[in-house]
Structure 1
Amino acid sequence: MLKTSFSEKRSPKKIFLETGLAIVGGGLSGVCAAITAARAGLQVVLVQDRPVLGGNSSSEVRLWILGATSHLGNNNRWSREGGVIDELLVENMFRNPEGNPLIFDSILLDKVAAEENITLLLNTAIYELEKSGSEIISAIEGFCSQNSTHYHISAPLFCDCSGDGIVGFLAGAAFRMGAESKDEFDEKFAPTAEYGELLGHSMYFYSKDTGKPVKYTAPEFALKDITEIPRFRSFNTKEYGCRLWWLEYGGRLDTVHDTEKIKWELWKVIYGTWDYIKNSGNFPDAENLTLEWVGTIPGKRESRRFEGDYMLSQKDIVEQRTHFDAVAYGGWSIDLHPADGVFSEKPGCNQWHSKGIYQIPYRTLYSKNIKNLFLAGRIISASHVAFASTRVMATSAYVAQAVALAAKICKDKGIFPADIIKNDQIGILQEELIRSGQYIPGVKFNDQQDLVQKASLQVSSELKIEALNKGMEYVDLALSSAQLIPVKAGIMPKISFSVNVKKPTTLNVQLRKSIKSGNYTPDITIETKTFSRGEGLHDVTLLFDFVPTEETYLFLIIEKNPDVKLKFSQQRITGMLSAFNLVNKAVSNFGKQTPTEDIGVEEFEFWCPQRRPAGLNIALTFEPALEFYGAQNLKNGIDRPTLNPNAWAAAYNDPKPEITLNWDNEQQISEINLAFDTDFDHPMESVLMGHPENRMPFCVQNYTITDENGKLLYKKDGNYQTRNVIRFDSPVRTKQIKINLEHPSALTPAALFSVRCYA
């Protein structure tokens, strides 16, 4: 028993922590930063003011994670973010393809808890900090309401992933709220005062069919005149969760200090809407439905944005400008919402896409006037217009991973974040990021530490694509259909395909390419061919006059025709992809982007893949065969398709695909890294949206690694992850490494992007 006498005043328990990097904010950005930094060897304290991790992606808000892939609704091919965010999404696909937000919570907690270098403080809000000078933070103060404990956390480096930027705000860092004028960054899409300067908050609800009639009595605070809300017409019994993203409010209020007021207004709308759905008599299909869940905290879009040594702007996104200090990329549309949200007469969003992904420079990821403060998540240094693209969670997490490895460099060298630029350390940071699985567009990687660079490579076979002719079927040509075809400089293959014509018709075929190398927007028509065909089965052979001058992907486009069926193949091959001129209203894709006025964005067509099990490759034959899957791809430093597939792939008829690494002298190997294909084109939305499989069809599941004497060094069964990092308890000494892989299926050959070995 504990018994104490009267005291005039008491103080809660206080714990003092010292760490290498203090990260405030346990949303997806904070989680990815913490895991990345911890794996790099930094001691990390991760502070989260909520009971679970994930922020807007958690079960408390339930927004799906998206980034450059944009629901497969844009022209950004193979653009899913890499590194830890990729690992989390792939893990969620395996454990949770149905998109249960509670399971996703557990995955995030599991991954963080597995890292010994992370000290996690949940339910802990930062409210104060200490500075050792006007530009240096020395410690932060937090309070946990659940254990009545104060935490004093000191560190040489701090990272603000808090969304509202509480650390930057308390430290006095320069920040902005609201939209800039059109003139400040020459942004033609800068919003007017009528449209509003801030994006609001959103809250969602879930319903459930109980199998029997359910009555509902609304709370007194529920809105009674719900049909007067302009967007009420969009409510129905089928939509729930983050499909209600447009249930938004607060853009004309202070989105930091008025959050509770905004929450109550959204609650009024939600409960009023459910009252109308249940009790108006206009929704008979709602009789058995109950309101299963309503959000208790709003999902925030925008509040403070902090100033770094560079501010990203609209032209950086639309023009895809290059930066010497690129460390990440974005690809979501410039997505602004009317400030009045659900009460606005305007469309719920105004999305404008660029033709491809864009670089994000390191200079946007630290405060320009607080020397030891990193910025990550939605608060990075960007204009309001550019923020409209960078704010989404996968992009935010991606830049957070860059911050984490920058912090490791700063800690090791005893420097501040800006010194990475001043001391010409950006190349080291870029190399560390790529080595960790992060792709940086336009940055080449020559890993001097990789022992494979000094090895000779032999493989049991190399895939040569003479034809896509397995598992074939004819499909109505209801959409204009394209095949992305990799070509080499000086070689344009003869291409053939097959059609089943219902009645005599004319078939139009185009060969297109992207005006910008590395993009997948087919905005240049190279040649057009027209064929007349009668009823029946026909083979069409294409001989183009065009001769490629560089390695790139071309688009073979067969225009839609209701009188034609086109033959497709069920073969799934790394780096081979079909695309269709289709509509995806979820991301304002109506087949073609057509600005109604000069707002600084471009007009172009959308050519997007279809989700599996659709999205088959067109059944084509090539002469000469496509030869892009050589062994040298395993050490070219690129772990995803770009200008070519960038992968080694075994021939279909190779019964035991094998990679052999030979060195002239004995090597000491402590670590082997393998990069598999988990389909960087698949968005992997984390909640609500189901997926057709929990393992990507391209990914090698089973493999073994042996040494020169045939001794088994490692065996993996049931792999589904992109990156496999194999660390040996004791270094292996050998002159040879053999990797034996199994084909994922009869229709998908074994493929590997890279193998790297480290002493």
Structure 2
Amino acid sequence: MKIFEKEAGRRLKQDILHADLVVTGGGLAGVCAAITAAREGMKVVLVQDRPVLGGNASSEVRLWALGATSHLGNNNRWSREGGVMGEILVENLYRNPEGNANLLDALLLDKVLLEPAITLLLDTAVNSLRKNELGHISEIGAFCSQNSTCYTLAAPLFIDASGDGILGFLSGASYRIGAEAASEFDEAFAPDEEYGGLLGHSMYFYSRDTGKPVSYVAPSFALKDITKIPRYKNFKAGDTGCQLWWLEHGGRLDTIHDTRQIKQDLLGVIYGVWDYIKNSGNFPEAENLTLEWVGNVPGKRESRRFVGDYMLSQKDVIEQRCFKDAVAYGGWAIDLHPGDGVFSKLNGCTQWHSKGVYQIPYRTMYSRDIPNLFLAGRIISATHVAFGSTRVMATTGHSAQAVGMAAAICAEKGILPRDVLGEEQMGLLQRRLTRTGHYIPFLDIEDPENLASKASANASSTFELHELTPGADRDPLDRPRAMLVPCKKGSVPPVTFYLDVESGCEIEAQLRISSRSASFTPDITLETCRISVPSGKTVPLEIAFQSRIEHDQYVFLCLMPVEGVSVITSDQRVTGVLSVSHSGNDKVARSSVQEPPAGIGVDRVEFWLPQRRPGGKNFALKFAEPIHRFEAAQVLSGPQRPSFGPNAWVAAAGDKQPSLKLKWQEAIEVKTVALFFDTDFDHPMETVQMGHPEREMPFCVKDFDLIDGDGKIIHEARDNHSTRYLGTMPEGMLLAELTVRVLATHGAPAAIFQIQCF
């Protein structure tokens, strides 16, 4: 027994931690930044005011994490985020294809705990800050309610990924709340006061079918008059989780200091909606449903946005402007919500998509005022309009990796965040990011330290896009459909498709390309031709386009709709080859064509979308001459995904044990080998609620060996499902040759985007 006598006063337990970097905020942005910095050798403290990691993606809120892929609802082909963010998405799919939010919590905790250089402080809220005489943050104070401990966290560098920007606020950094005037950044889409300049919070609920009738008595605080929600007729008994994203409130309030009231108001909405579903008599199908789970932490969209050396704006997003200091990208629509949220008569959101992904410059990722403060997550330097796109979680995680890597460079060089803008340091930052699989679009990055780039490459076989053999399935030509095919500069080889035709007719075929390099909106029609076809079950449609392609790029081979005609598909799936259709996705668009009002600074966009597997098969086809875009030399450089072309070596389908060999003119020392595989960057991999039919991507290499020039196996890899595989070589290994022998894939022909050797 311990007895504590009366004392004049007591002080809470104090703990002082020193680190190279302190990251505040444990959402996906903070997690990605902390993991990146730790893997680069930094000693990191990650402080999170909640009991779990993940922020809005966690089981406390349960919003699916998305970014540029936008539910496969836009033209951003192969745009899923890479690097650490991509690693999390791929691993979550493998462990958790059903989308269980609790399993995502466990995965994120696992990822952080596996990094010995990270000290994780959960349930710990930052509440104070000190600066030194230079205006640098020197330490922050935080309190953990679970162990009743006050922490002092000292470091030379800090990352604010806290969502509300607690470090930026306490440090005195410049910030903004609400929408800028249209004139300030020439943003024609800037909202007016009537629409509202602040996005609100949302909370969700889950229901469950018990198999027997369930009664429901609403609490006193439940919303009594459902007609106060103008869109109440949109409710369905089966809606659950983040399908109810539009249960939003708080855009007219202080989204920081009024959060408790906003939460209580949202609880009233949720229990009132459930009362309406259960007791109005309009939903007999809800008789056996019970309210399984209700969120208790509001999913917050917007509060403070901090000011860096550059503020991203609407034209940067829509025009896909390029920056020398680009370190990340976005691709979600500019997605703004009415200030009145669920109580507004307007649509729950207004989304306008750009024609492709856009770059995010490094200058948005540090404070212009506080020399050692990085910005990550939704608080980066962007206008309210641009924030409508940059705020989504996979985008924030991806850009936060750039921040974590920049912090590591600062620590190594003894410099501050702004100093990374120098040409030498920026080049280093961009190279190091791409080594991890972190994609930066429209940027050609050469890495002289990658020894593989100095080798020659040859393979046991190479896929030639000559023929995709017919299968049993058909896609009706009830809408425009197309094959997205990588072509070389010059003419497109004549191609034959195969149709099922009920009665003889004329087919219109079009050759289209994108007006924007490495983008996938087919807004330029180079040629149109019309071909008469007879009736029949396997009717060849021979097309010979005369137009020339000015440079290596993807083209759209389009077939326009005809009643009673179907195109025969193939069961063959190949890296970098895809079928699409002119269609819409109601999750992110109102139709198959984006038709913006005049004068809002947004482009008209036709959406050409793929289907999710097991749908979305390629068309059966045959080219008069094979298309050669899958050569072994592709692995010697990036990017590590399709862009101007497939950027991958792909083995011939009939090669039972394909291999690829790197050869140097003289033996070199290799310490690590990194291989980048195809985990289908077109798959959004929503983290929660939405189930997925696969745990592994069919294009990914599963089993392989690394073999030296003497035929000796120096590394074995089995059951791989990851994008990036890092193999450590025996100490002092000298190699004149390195062979990757593929033993198995997850279904499609073997493909490798890049090999790196260091």
Give the shorter-chain TM-score range: over 0.9
| Equivalent residue number for residue 756 of structure 1 | 756
| Equivalent residue number for residue 478 of structure 2 | 478
| Equivalent residue number for residue 735 of structure 2 | 734
CA distance in structure 2 between the partners assigned to 1:664 and 1:190 by the alignment: 58
CA distance in structure 2 between the partners assigned to 1:267 and 1:278 by the alignment: 16
- Contact 1:366 1:418 (8 Å CA) reproduced: yes
CA distance in structure 2 between the partners assigned to 1:658 and 1:600 by the alignment: 50
The DSSP-based 3-state class of the residue aligned with 1:702 is: strand
| Equivalent residue number for residue 292 of structure 2 | 292
Letter paired with 1:371: P
Report matched runs for 1:220-299 at 5 Å.
220-299=220-299
- Contact 1:742 1:750 (8 Å CA) reproduced: no
| Equivalent residue number for residue 662 of structure 2 | 661
Is 1:698 paired with 2:678? no
| Equivalent residue number for residue 395 of structure 2 | 395
Shift of 1:667: 2.0
The DSSP-based 3-state class of the residue aligned with 2:673 is: strand
Is 1:20 paired with 2:11? no
CA distance in structure 1 between the partners assigned to 2:243 and 2:746 by the alignment: 35
| Cα deviations by residue, 1:498-526 (Å, 9 ceiling, x for unpaired) | 11111232211111111111110000111
TM-score by length of 2: 0.98
Shift of 1:231: 2.0
| Cα deviations by residue, 1:398-426 (Å, 9 ceiling, x for unpaired) | 11000001001111111110011146421
CA distance in structure 2 between the partners assigned to 1:636 and 1:580 by the alignment: 31
- Contact 1:447 1:637 (8 Å CA) reproduced: no
CA distance in structure 2 between the partners assigned to 1:36 and 1:137 by the alignment: 21
Shift of 1:734: 2.9
| Equivalent residue number for residue 67 of structure 1 | 67
Shift of 1:105: 0.5
CA distance in structure 1 between the partners assigned to 2:653 and 2:179 by the alignment: 55
The DSSP-based 3-state class of the residue aligned with 1:742 is: strand
- Contact 1:634 1:755 (8 Å CA) reproduced: yes
Report matched runs for 1:158-169 at 5 Å.
158-169=158-169
- Contact 2:455 2:636 (8 Å CA) reproduced: no
| Equivalent residue number for residue 711 of structure 1 | 712
Letter paired with 1:570: D
Residues 422 and 706 (structure 1), Cα distance of their counterparts in 2 relative to 1, 3 Å cut = closer
- Contact 2:470 2:569 (8 Å CA) reproduced: no
| Cα deviations by residue, 1:700-743 (Å, 9 ceiling, x for unpaired) | 11111122233222211211100001124624233222210035
Shift of 1:211: 1.1
CA distance in structure 1 between the partners assigned to 2:423 and 2:663 by the alignment: 38
The DSSP-based 3-state class of the residue aligned with 2:299 is: coil
- Contact 1:743 1:749 (8 Å CA) reproduced: no
Deviates more, 1:299-308 or 1:563-572: 563-572
| Equivalent residue number for residue 217 of structure 1 | 217
| Equivalent residue number for residue 365 of structure 1 | 365
Letter paired with 2:238: K
The DSSP-based 3-state class of the residue aligned with 1:674 is: strand
The DSSP-based 3-state class of the residue aligned with 1:418 is: helix
Is 1:458 paired with 2:430? no
| Cα deviations by residue, 1:670-698 (Å, 9 ceiling, x for unpaired) | 10100000000000000000111111111
The DSSP-based 3-state class of the residue aligned with 2:558 is: strand
- Contact 2:452 2:757 (8 Å CA) reproduced: yes
CA distance in structure 1 between the partners assigned to 2:148 and 2:470 by the alignment: 64
| Equivalent residue number for residue 489 of structure 1 | 489
CA distance in structure 2 between the partners assigned to 1:216 and 1:226 by the alignment: 16
Is 1:628 paired with 2:629? yes
CA distance in structure 1 between the partners assigned to 2:607 and 2:148 by the alignment: 54
CA distance in structure 2 between the partners assigned to 1:360 and 1:597 by the alignment: 27
Shift of 1:589: 4.5
| Cα deviations by residue, 1:345-395 (Å, 9 ceiling, x for unpaired) | 000000000001001000000000000000000000000000000000011
CA distance in structure 2 between the partners assigned to 1:226 and 1:134 by the alignment: 56
- Contact 1:334 1:351 (8 Å CA) reproduced: yes
Letter paired with 2:496: S
| Cα deviations by residue, 1:448-497 (Å, 9 ceiling, x for unpaired) | 11111222222111111211115353332222111011111124211111
Deviates more, 1:229-238 or 1:91-100: 229-238
Letter paired with 1:494: P
Shift of 1:77: 0.5
CA distance in structure 1 between the partners assigned to 2:236 and 2:135 by the alignment: 52
The DSSP-based 3-state class of the residue aligned with 1:430 is: helix
- Contact 2:491 2:547 (8 Å CA) reproduced: no
- Contact 1:176 1:304 (8 Å CA) reproduced: yes
| Cα deviations by residue, 1:303-357 (Å, 9 ceiling, x for unpaired) | 0000000000000001111111000000000000000000000000000000010
Superposed CA RMSD in Å reads: 1.2
CA distance in structure 1 between the partners assigned to 2:287 and 2:211 by the alignment: 9
Report matched runs for 1:411-426 at 5 Å.
411-422=411-422, 424-426=424-426
CA distance in structure 2 between the partners assigned to 1:589 and 1:402 by the alignment: 34
| Cα deviations by residue, 1:262-306 (Å, 9 ceiling, x for unpaired) | 000000000111112112222111111111100001000000000
Report matched runs for 1:462-611 at 5 Å.
462-469=462-469, 471-537=471-537, 538-611=539-612
Letter paired with 1:534: P
- Contact 2:676 2:753 (8 Å CA) reproduced: yes
| Equivalent residue number for residue 203 of structure 1 | 203
The DSSP-based 3-state class of the residue aligned with 1:409 is: helix
Report matched runs for 1:644-683 at 5 Å.
644-683=645-684
- Contact 2:139 2:154 (8 Å CA) reproduced: yes
The DSSP-based 3-state class of the residue aligned with 1:587 is: coil
CA distance in structure 1 between the partners assigned to 2:535 and 2:488 by the alignment: 36
CA distance in structure 1 between the partners assigned to 2:119 and 2:482 by the alignment: 50
| Cα deviations by residue, 1:107-162 (Å, 9 ceiling, x for unpaired) | 00001000011000000000001100362100010000000001100000000000
Deviant stretches of 4+, over 4 Å: none
Deviates more, 1:11-20 or 1:464-473: 464-473
CA distance in structure 2 between the partners assigned to 1:510 and 1:641 by the alignment: 23
The DSSP-based 3-state class of the residue aligned with 2:490 is: coil
| Equivalent residue number for residue 33 of structure 1 | 33
- Contact 1:73 1:589 (8 Å CA) reproduced: no
CA distance in structure 2 between the partners assigned to 1:579 and 1:439 by the alignment: 23
Deviates more, 1:478-487 or 1:106-115: 478-487
CA distance in structure 2 between the partners assigned to 1:749 and 1:424 by the alignment: 40
- Contact 2:139 2:152 (8 Å CA) reproduced: yes
CA distance in structure 1 between the partners assigned to 2:574 and 2:623 by the alignment: 15
The DSSP-based 3-state class of the residue aligned with 2:546 is: coil
- Contact 1:505 1:563 (8 Å CA) reproduced: no
CA distance in structure 1 between the partners assigned to 2:533 and 2:671 by the alignment: 62
Deviates more, 1:365-374 or 1:702-711: 702-711
- Contact 1:74 1:589 (8 Å CA) reproduced: no
CA distance in structure 2 between the partners assigned to 1:144 and 1:242 by the alignment: 30
Report matched runs for 1:186-197 at 5 Å.
186-197=186-197
The DSSP-based 3-state class of the residue aligned with 1:613 is: coil
| Equivalent residue number for residue 129 of structure 1 | 129
Letter paired with 2:514: S
Letter paired with 2:641: R
The DSSP-based 3-state class of the residue aligned with 2:485 is: strand
CA distance in structure 2 between the partners assigned to 1:255 and 1:582 by the alignment: 37
| Equivalent residue number for residue 441 of structure 1 | 441
| Equivalent residue number for residue 384 of structure 2 | 384
CA distance in structure 1 between the partners assigned to 2:291 and 2:730 by the alignment: 53
| Cα deviations by residue, 1:137-193 (Å, 9 ceiling, x for unpaired) | 000100000000011000000000000000000000000000000100000000010
- Contact 2:36 2:404 (8 Å CA) reproduced: yes
